[in-house]
Chains A and B, each alone.
Chain A
Amino acid sequence: MAEARVPDVPATDPLSARSEILARIRSANRASISDARTLSAEEAWQRIPRNYRDAGLLTESDRIELFTERLREYGAGVSSSQPAQVADTIAEILRKRNKQTMLLSSGVDPNWLPQDGVRFVADNELSYAEMEACDGVLTGCTVAIAVTGTLALCHESIRGRRALTLLPDYHLCVVEAATIVETVPEGMRALEPHRTQPITLISGPSATADIEMTRIQGVHGPRVLDVVIVV
């Protein structure tokens, strides 16, 4: 064990750091914006003009088409399926990808699961090693944003902890058409009720461009992402 040697700096009262910083801020703001703070923070925030695009303009089918296109640009696989055929679609994808053992977040509709060919493992306090040993993970999605090709997972509403969609090398996400919005503001508004949950926004598989600005798909998260849109 490494014995940590805390440098020889006199300890200061942590409470005084807090009050000192707040006092510095107040004095700085008094000096530089003087009387600009006549409103409460709440009122002043309400007055910030937001003239950017808020609501989307597309029809549902165009929205789904845009979402599909954006996902494909990220290198994600996209299929669409009627509600009754979801299980078949998933079975087909997993067979092609040669995935036998899939983690399962507990919010997934049981009707989506293929009856055979794949073993689904529920997260009953699995260890990280057990999660890593699975071929992939199957989850639902709280909200999807078409313009940016984003899957938003609120981990309580999809009922699965964050590590599930992180450790396995493959992620299969089922998106119901009704949860697809067009713009980022619409997406964030849909997430608002879940705002204190852990939220992960996923836009394509992980990627890096750190070496010579060459985009490489798949670094640490799942390197392959498939999406099934239920229409």
Chain B
Amino acid sequence: MAPTSERERQPLDFPSAALPLLHDAQLRGNVRHATDVIQGKRFRVVAEMPDWQSLREAGRQVRAHTLDYLDVYLEQFEQRCTAAGGHVHWARDTAEANRIVLQLAQNPTGRVIKIKSMTTEETGLNHALEAAGIQPIETDLAELIVQLGHDKPSHIVAPALHKNRHQVRELFVRAMNLPDLGDRPEDLAEAARVYLRQQFLSTPVAISGANFLIAETGGVCIVESEGNGRMCLTLPQKLISFAGIDKIIPRFSDLEVMLQLLPRSATGERMNPYNSVWTGVHPGDGPQEFHVVLLDNRRTEVLRDPEARETLQCIRCGACQNACPVYRQTGGHAYGSVYAGPIGAILTPQLALMERGQSLPYASTLCGACYEVCPVKINIPEILIHLRGRVVTGRPSYLRALHPEAMMMRGMQWMFLSETRFRLAQRFGRIAQRPWIRRSGWIERLPSILGGWTRTRDLRPLPQQSFREWFQARPSASTGSHSTLPPQVSSEPPEVPHG
């Protein structure tokens, strides 16, 4: 079992995980502010690109093509990277990946410096390092905030957006022993600069993620803003880069697409401050020992599902999170995984083989905002619906027929397959609702699962005449028509009482 926290292993229920977050006004305010700011910036820099839709299509095709030829490109990457002096390791699951890193990360200081990496969060690498007596030091400002607060990242590109400046100051004052620290963002960034500079210069091993692995050259590309990435990639003697097998792109020139799509989508910048590309070991410049760990961890299972494999096209920009009206209310923690928001709602259940996170595909109104902003055109709403289908069909057979929801769905279908039954149901509803209609003329409280509706909203009762009854009763040029339907779309009872 992977050395992940308890939380990672427990089944996750989105509605109940979201509940305390909805009551955290501070957190919701921070999340809304942050997503509004990034969304606004993204909108401006995307609007100025007349060829944005062509870029998205090219991005989608490059990523889809890579997945179709993933074995070819991974082998090519391994061969070129090795030829350039790097070492490539393969890990089937998180435990294997962490074990490889633990063996490589040992060094006399007992510390490693780290660049923000979703993939190491996925494997719970920091826990594994700590358990082995190696202290991981997160160097991205937001990740450092998360680490010092013993917290969890809440957003792909802005992991600490749920903390405001006062909360950050408190953390820094304690961890860095700086009682006089101010709380302007500038003061906090300066404190981090001084605190981390010493770590950069004295720690011999760095661990990074990777934004893109370039099959053609065996090179790695990392996109960042603060310079902590460059420090980790340049100063230590040994560098270990950790990447999912999905992070491959075929050629160096494909960066011309990715480096346009990613920064504009992720942070709303035309280009992020620093992009680094390196290939194996460069004599006299940077780490002289370089390792890449390629992680599967059920990505190959995602690849196997024709309806959902495009999930792996993701380039981790986080635009879908900023656009998501659900994420906007809850922040990332409700998703119970390092991958939050719409992409998390489709990726997490798949990486967990649908065992955990069955509520995640339902944590969406299918509003489509995520698909609209996705730089590689992942049709997230479609995949959400597909995964809902997998949740339904994945129920144990004895439950499949008796599950209340399934029974309701079948009942509704039975009703809708007969005009007579539909009319009777309309009439029945008008009678059944009577005890629930309040003096206001509306329904204000409903029983059982329908009570979810009336918790925050009233319901207008069914009117005394349905549309079809009105239409049938009117004298007019327009006409209703009766059709005789074949049995597969109709289970009409033999007698037709209406008319």
Contacts and interface: CB of A to CB of B under 8 A. Distances in A.
Contacts of B132: 4-7
B95 A28 contact: no
A86 B282 CA distance: 32
B262 to A, nearest CB: 11
Given A7-B99, A14-B90, A184-B256, A213 B158 contact: yes
B291 to A, nearest CB: 12
Contacts of B164: 211-212
Nearest to B3: A7
Contact of A208 (B30, B106, B189): B189
B227 A25 contact: no
B142, B217, B278, B305: which has the most chain A beta carbons within 10 Å? B278
Q: Output the residue of B100, B235, B245, B304 with the most chain A CB within 10 A.
A: B304
Contact of B271 (A189, A201, A209): A201
Contacts of B57: 49, 51
A152 to B, nearest CB: 9
Contact of A200 (B72, B92, B192, B274): B274
Most buried by B among A17, A163, A209: A209
Interface string B171-207: 0000000000000011011001100110011000000
Contact of A166 (B128, B163, B231, B255): B231
A221 B128 CA distance: 30
Contact of A163 (B73, B234, B259): B234
A16 to B, nearest CB: 9
Nearest to B306: A32
B226 A33 contact: no
B305 to A, nearest CB: 6
A53 B95 CA distance: 44
Interface string B94-115: 0110111011011010100000
B58 A163 contact: no
Interface in A157-209: 161-163, 166, 184-185, 187-189, 191-192, 195-209
Contacts of A22: 71, 74-75
A49 B55 CA distance: 10
Contacts of A4: 102, 105-106, 132-134
A210 interface: yes
A39 to B, nearest CB: 9
B420 to A, nearest CB: 44
Interface stretch (B9-17, B293-301, B363-371): B293-301
Given A44-B65, A45-B251, A206 B99 contact: no
B227 A206 contact: yes
Given A49-B57, A220-B193, A189 B256 contact: yes
B54 A51 contact: yes
A37 B255 CA distance: 24
Determine the main DSSP class of B at the interface with A: helix
Interface string A141-166: 00001011110000100000111001
B37 interface: yes
Interface string B118-158: 00000000001001111100011110010000000000001
Interface in A1-20: 1-7, 9, 11-12, 14, 17-18, 20
A111 interface: no
B285 A41 contact: no
Given A52-B257, A201-B274, A202-B273, A25 B102 contact: no
Given A2-B133, A209-B267, A48 B61 contact: yes
A52 B245 CA distance: 27
Contact of A188 (B245, B259, B279): B259
B70 to A, nearest CB: 5
Of A20, A50, A147, the most chain B CB neighbours within 10 A belong to: A50
A219 interface: yes
A44 B68 contact: yes
Contacts of A198: 276-279, 282, 285-286
Contact of A204 (B188, B273, B306): B273
A29 B303 contact: yes
Contacts of B306: 31-33
A24 interface: yes
B234 A162 contact: yes
B250 interface: yes
Nearest to A154: B277
Contact of A148 (B70, B103, B192, B271): B271
Interface residues of B, number: 117
B433 interface: no
Contacts of B398: none
Contacts of A216: 185-186, 189
Contacts of B225: 206-209, 219
B383 interface: no
Contacts of B304: 27-28, 31-32
A25 B98 CA distance: 21
Contacts of B34: 212-213
A17 B253 contact: no
B395 interface: no
A26 B304 CA distance: 9
A185 B227 contact: no
Interface in B69-85: 69-75, 78, 84
A188 B252 contact: yes
Contact of B161 (A53, A185, A213, A218): A213
B441 interface: no
Nearest to B69: A41
A28 B186 CA distance: 49
Nearest to A191: B252
B131 A7 contact: yes
B286 A70 contact: no
Q: Could you say which of A155, A195, A214, A220 has the most chain B C-beta atoms within 10 Å of its C-beta?
A: A220
A2 B108 CA distance: 7
B270 to A, nearest CB: 4
6 contacts: A25-B245, A52-B257, A192-B253, A195-B216, A200-B276, A221-B230
Given A29-B71, A147-B270, 13 more contacts: A11-B99, A17-B90, A44-B69, A52-B260, A145-B271, A166-B227, A184-B259, A195-B219, A199-B277, A199-B278, A201-B275, A203-B274, A219-B225
In the A-B complex, list the 4 residue pairs whose CB atoms are closest, starting with the nearest: A2-B110, A221-B227, A220-B227, A148-B271
Interface of A: 1-7, 9, 11-12, 14, 17-18, 20-22, 24-29, 31-33, 36-37, 41, 44-45, 48-53, 70, 74, 128-129, 132, 145, 147-150, 155, 161-163, 166, 184-185, 187-189, 191-192, 195-214, 216, 218-221
